[in-house]
Structures are given as structure tokens and as C-alpha cells.
Amino acid sequence: MEAFTVHTGRAVPLRRSNVDTDQIIPAVWLKQVSRTGFEKGLFSAWREDPEFVLNRPEYAGASILVAGPDFGTGSSREHAVWALQQYGFRAVISARFGDIFRNNATKMGLLPIELPEDYIEGLQDKIEANPAKEFTIDLPARELRCDEGGVRSFEIDDYTRWRLTEGLDDIGLTLRHADDITVFEKSRQPWLPVTA
């Protein structure tokens, strides 16, 4: 996983609620068996509209997506996270995230930041007023900073923050407890099914 510590970049406002993972990456893109090339599928239906925010030149190269509430609902497809990352996003800000999307994002090092809806609307206004505005996300300090001096703190649990800042892979962490898993397996109920 890609580590996330401090990131500075421009932001793009996506003024839509309930951006489900089918919109982030439509199903037709899920047939690939590799982990790369998903940036082409990011919002592919919406990107056909020349007015769609990601098509506007002033937002080219932005790395922070500032979206409406309930971002990443629906399908469990981790391809949504891969598509956002491969397109160049390092963080998504929303008032609420789909649980599976948020989980997938933190496994991959895409930072989901939850902030209140009215704050996000204010942020979107500011970005639209000046798309060149830069923001700094300081994960160790749990802060979102604006180039003109505004600071907003956000919440993230200590463990996830540590894992993200170190770029640690969950499997390696869990395998440190392989002996506990072996012990647990001996206590499983005898009737539990096997597929073999």
C-alpha cells in the first residue's frame, strides 16, 4: 500500500450526493484481471459530458476530490478506489462514505476524510471561486489546511492513521497472529461446514 503522510494539492468539487461505485467505475470496466488501467474508467459515463467537472481544464491535475454526501455507496468493487488513485486522487472528502468503499480506500492508501456537509459545501464554494487554491492534508496532525491559512481538523482512528502513514499491509500485520488463528480454529464447532 502507498503510504500517506502529508499531501499538498488542488481540489475538485463534485456536487453530487450518492455517488455510488457504479458511477465511479461502471461494471464494464470490472472485467480486467489486472490492477492497472482503471483511470480510463473513472466516472466514464459522466466524463462523456464535456461540462462534467473533471473535464474542465481548471481542475486538471487536482488530487483531492470534494464530494457530496454518501460517496462510494453500493457495490463492493475495489476497482473504484483503484480508478480514483490511478487517475491521480490521493484523498476524497465527503460527509458520509459507503462502509465498504471507505474500508477499501484505507486498505489502498486513498484517504477518506469525513467532514460535515455544510463545511464541505463551503469548501466547494471556495474551490469554485479559485480552482488554483492549494490544500494540504496532514494525516499525522489530522488536519486539512488551506493555502490562505484556514485549518480544519478531521477524525480518523489512531490505528488506521498509523497503518496509512506507515503504508502497512494488513495481511502482514494479521499474520503476526497466525498462532492465535491456529488456536481459534481448534475451538470451532464440529458441525460447521466445509466446502471440500
Residue placing its CB nearer to other proteins in the complex, 69 or 122 = 69
Cα–Cα dist 143/85, whole Å:
21
Would you tell me which residues interact with other proteins (CB under 8 A)?
Answer: 15-18, 20, 22-23, 26-28, 30-35, 45, 68-70, 73-79, 81, 96-100, 103-104, 107-108, 117, 157-159, 170-171, 173-175, 177-178, 180-181, 184-185, 188-196
Report which DSSP code applies to 188.
S
Cα–Cα dist 26/19, whole Å:
12
Residue placing its CB nearer to other proteins in the complex, 10 or 113 = 113
Contact 63, 87 (CB under 8 A): no
Residue placing its CB nearer to other proteins in the complex, 59 or 97 = 97
Contact 155, 112 (CB under 8 A): no
Nearest approach in angstroms of CB 122 to other proteins is 14
Residue placing its CB nearer to other proteins in the complex, 10 or 14 = 14
Dihedral angle over CA of 161, 166, 170, 173, nearest 10: -110
Nearest approach in angstroms of CB 147 to other proteins is 28
Nearest approach in angstroms of CB 164 to other proteins is 13
Q: Helix axis angle, 99-108 relative to 158-166, nearest 10°? A: 40
Nearest approach in angstroms of CB 148 to other proteins is 27
